[in-house]
């Protein structure tokens, strides 16, 4: 009996496989086979062959879209192809306006440890970086690891970041954040290169990889907290603008609004719709069930008809602004996170009402409005996602 000789993959097939691997690695949130075919121009059978070559080698992992993913087709859910991560740990840091959160995770996204502390981040930039580094070292040590086991670190910060210099570009009255090199300061303290991005962008990364925007290539993530900001994902890429200030929707002017904003202008959206503005209205009415913590979820507000009405009206105001963005960008989804996003259905009702009233019909019917699946942890998990991506690049 003669021997069967297995021939090596053709040069064309090898090139196709490498092209597919590069695309999958550049989309850590996952891509479908049909998207790979559309992007590369390869036939479905060629994509299937290339993916079949990658899966056994452990370079790519196949995951089912599940839960609140944005695949609207009926029947069997699509499979997402995601890059396989090296074995090890990563660290995510979320510097919010009034808190510091740190998470230690495996490179597949499984959390090992997490800690959150209240902190005046807005007015104590350098101290906030010190505290974040201390929390990281504590989590790593208590988990039986060392910093040598950490393959990637990423952090979200509450202000725009200049894409060229990497320094902060604060919009408000927080001088300690002016021209501050967060990347350099954190990297020096931790002895590791740290990826840094605006917190709303990190929220978009978190929901895209682990939450409500999985499989979505065009969406807005709105962080509605003490301020309002948006992470923009357009055609699968994060859009930051010419100077890193894209998505600062909290400073869009509202006709008739006169409140003084932290940016120095009057009538900005966040003077009317933000967690602080909402809490002020609710406290004036002495409504029961208001969370005492400035970082607490607002899920209980829906049980009170008056509180729910106030939240819905805030959603209408926010929705009016988002309707204009729908007309400009035509996103497939808008994911609302931050403390205000935890108010749930009363907020979504107002947002949907305004978008359907003010946006073009084609845009309004195309967009899916939903709250963040990760709740108050979208930004933190986005930092974890970016740390994993950094580990993949270094592998």
Burial 278-296 (b: 16+ CB within 10 A, else e): bbeebeeeeeeebbeeebe
Q: What is the pLDDT of residue 30?
A: 80
Q: What is the pLDDT of residue 77?
A: 56
With a cut of 60, say whether residue 69 has pLDDT above it. no
Tell me the per-residue pLDDT of 89-130, one tens digit each, with 9 for 90 and over. Answer: 999 999 998 999 999 999 988 999 999 999 999 999 999 999
- Residue 201 vs residue 37, higher pLDDT: 201
How many domains does the chain fold into? 3
Are 219 and 362 members of one domain?
yes
Please compute, for residue 353, the number of CA atoms within 13 A of its CA located in the half-sphere on the CB side. Answer: 14
Spatial distance between the Cα atoms of 52 and 56, rounded to a whole number of angstroms: 7
Spatial distance between the Cα atoms of 105 and 100, rounded to a whole number of angstroms: 17
| Residue 112 vs residues 115, 195, 377, 386: alpha-carbon distances, Å | 11, 20, 15, 17
Q: What is the pLDDT of residue 395?
A: 62
Are 329 and 367 members of one domain?
yes
In a domain, 83, yes or no: no
Q: What is the CATH number of the domain that holds 335?
A: 3.30.420.40
Q: What is the pLDDT of residue 170?
A: 67
3-state secondary structure 247-274: CCHHHCECCCCCCECCCCCECEHHHCCC
Q: What is the CATH number of the domain that holds 47?
A: 1.10.10
With a cut of 60, say whether residue 8 has pLDDT above it. no
| pTM (predicted TM-score) | 0.84
- The domain of 308 spans 214-372
User: Taking residues 296-301, what's their average pLDDT?
Assistant: 74
With a cut of 80, say whether residue 1 has pLDDT above it. no
Are 36 and 98 members of one domain?
no
Tell me the per-residue pLDDT of 307-348, one tens digit each, with 9 for 90 and over. Answer: 899 999 999 999 999 999 999 999 999 999 999 999 999 999
Tell me the per-residue pLDDT of 352-382, one tens digit each, with 9 for 90 and over. Answer: 999 999 999 999 999 999 999 999 999 999 9
In a domain, 313, yes or no: yes
Q: Given 3-state DSSP classes, what are the helix, strand and coil percentages for the chain, each rounded to the nearest 5?
A: 45, 20, 35
**Average per-residue pLDDT in the chain?**
88
In a domain, 293, yes or no: yes
Tell me the per-residue pLDDT of 218-261, one tens digit each, with 9 for 90 and over. Answer: 999 999 998 899 999 999 899 999 999 999 999 999 999 999 99
Are 197 and 237 members of one domain?
no
With a cut of 50, say whether residue 304 has pLDDT above it. yes
Q: Which residues lie closer than 8 Å to 107 by C-beta, 6 or more apart? A: 85, 86, 87, 88, 89, 90, 151, 152, 388, 391
């Amino acid at each position: 009996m003669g021997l069967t000789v297995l021939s090596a993959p053709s040069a064309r097939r090898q090139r196709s496989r490498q092209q597919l691997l590069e695309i999958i690695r550049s989309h850590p949130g996952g891509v479908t086979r049909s998207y790979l075919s559309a992007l590369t121009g390869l036939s479905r059978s060629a994509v299937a062959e290339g993916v079949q070559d990658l899966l056994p080698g452990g370079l790519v992992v196949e995951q089912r879209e599940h839960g609140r993913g944005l695949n609207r087709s009926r029947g069997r859910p699509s499979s997402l192809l995601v890059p396989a991560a090296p074995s090890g740990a990563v660290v995510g840091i979320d510097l919010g306006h009034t808190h510091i959160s740190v998470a230690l995770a495996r490179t597949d996204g499984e959390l090992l440890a997490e800690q959150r502390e209240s902190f005046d981040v807005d007015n104590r930039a350098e101290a906030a970086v010190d505290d974040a580094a201390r929390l990281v070292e504590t989590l790593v040590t208590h988990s039986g690891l060392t910093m040598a086991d950490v393959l990637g670190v990423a952090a979200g910060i509450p202000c725009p970041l200049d894409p060229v210099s990497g320094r902060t570009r604060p919009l408000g009255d927080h001088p300690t954040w002016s021209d501050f090199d967060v990347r350099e300061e954190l990297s020096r303290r931790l002895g590791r290169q740290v990826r840094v991005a605006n917190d709303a962008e990190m929220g978009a990364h978190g929901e895209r990889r682990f939450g409500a925007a999985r499989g979505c290539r065009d969406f807005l993530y709105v962080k509605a907290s003490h301020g309002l900001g948006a992470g923009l994902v357009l055609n699968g890429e994060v859009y930051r603008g010419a100077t890193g200030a894209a998505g600062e929707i909290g400073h869009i002017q509202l006709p008739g609004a006169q409140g003084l904003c932290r940016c120095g202008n009057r009538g900005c959206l966040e003077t009317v719709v933000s967690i602080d503005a909402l809490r002020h209205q609710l406290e004036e009415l002495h409504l029961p069930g208001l969370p005492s913590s400035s970082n607490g979820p607002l899920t209980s507000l829906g049980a009170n008809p008056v509180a729910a009405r106030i939240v819905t009206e805030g959603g209408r105001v926010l929705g009016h602004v988002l309707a204009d963005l729908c007309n400009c960008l035509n996103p497939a989804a808008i994911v609302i996170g931050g403390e205000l996003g935890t108010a749930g259905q009363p907020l979504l009702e107002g947002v949907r009402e305004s978008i359907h009233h003010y946006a073009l019909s084609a845009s309004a019917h195309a967009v899916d409005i939903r709250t963040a699946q990760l709740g108050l942890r979208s930004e933190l998990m986005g930092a974890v996602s970016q740390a994993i991506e950094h580990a993949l690049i270094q592998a």
